[in-house]
Amino acid sequence: MVNLNIDWSFFTWDLFSSFVLKGLYFSVTLTVIATLGGVALGTVLALMRLSGKKWLDLPATIYVNGMRSIPLVMVILWFFLLVPMIIGRPIGAEASAIITFVAFEAAYFSEIMRAGIQSISRGQVFAGQALGMTYGQNMKLVVLPQAFRNMLPVLLTQTIILFQDTSLVYAIGAYDMLKGFEIAGKNYGRPIEAYLAAAVVYFVLCYALSWLVKRLHKKIAIIR
């Protein structure tokens, strides 16, 4: 039988506040910014793909399919290594991570928004046109509000996945939550305890958020 010899005294609040809290703050900040930026850019991409105009649809389709076909960690490394070469100066690991996540997650949010827009009855679109609304007004006042409501649980689920993916910024040395646990493990010489604690914290946070999303989904279903 394997004896891991776990030191339970390792799991203290001082450990969390000294090493992990800073990383958790960055992970949450990155998640929020990437979600807001990804939804905004993803909505634009979705509207481009649904515009019916090839000169808008084609580049948006190439962008979405291209991003969805590449591992996120590769995109992170590309932005971190190539962007400074292009602009001629370093931009830092944190800034590079934010740019990468917004650009990458926009492709996934785009598909969610496109499905949400297509879920709205065409009759409502025709009704808006009959009232004299322009395409932009119809989308802003009629289609998008309903699409956001329909897709909110899926958007939040993707946000939870995004939060889990923030751990990949370790590849460029950004100080996220996992990095905080890793540094704590090295400083105290207890890497097993550090990664065990990291797994528990990720599980608790993601499970709690998933439970809230399920509750929200039920409430939206009742409203419908």
Tell me which residue of 20, 22, 74, 32 sits closest to 163, measured CA to CA.
Answer: 32
Give me 184's structure tokens.
């704590």
The span from the CA of 207 to the CA of 25, in Å, is 19
pLDDT at position 91 is: 85
Q: Residue 117's Cα: distance from chain center in Å?
A: 20
Contact assessment for residue 190 and residue 113, using Cβ atoms and an 8 Å cutoff: no
Tell me which residue of 183, 165, 207 sits closest to 20, measured CA to CA.
Answer: 183
pLDDT at position 1 is: 44
pLDDT at position 143 is: 83
The span from the CA of 105 to the CA of 72, in Å, is 9
pLDDT at position 122 is: 77
* Answer CATH for 19-177 from 1.10.3720.10, 3.30.930.10, 3.40.50.10600, 3.40.228.10: 1.10.3720.10
Question: pLDDT in tens for each of the 224 residues of the chain?
Answer: 445 677 767 778 877 888 899 999 999 999 999 999 999 999 999 999 988 889 999 999 999 999 999 999 999 998 898 888 888 888 889 999 999 999 999 999 999 999 888 888 777 777 777 877 877 788 888 888 888 888 888 899 999 999 999 999 988 989 999 999 999 888 888 888 889 999 999 999 999 999 988 888 777 765 55
What residue ranges do the domains of the chain occupy?
19-177
pLDDT at position 224 is: 55
pLDDT at position 16 is: 82
Contact assessment for residue 180 and residue 20, using Cβ atoms and an 8 Å cutoff: yes
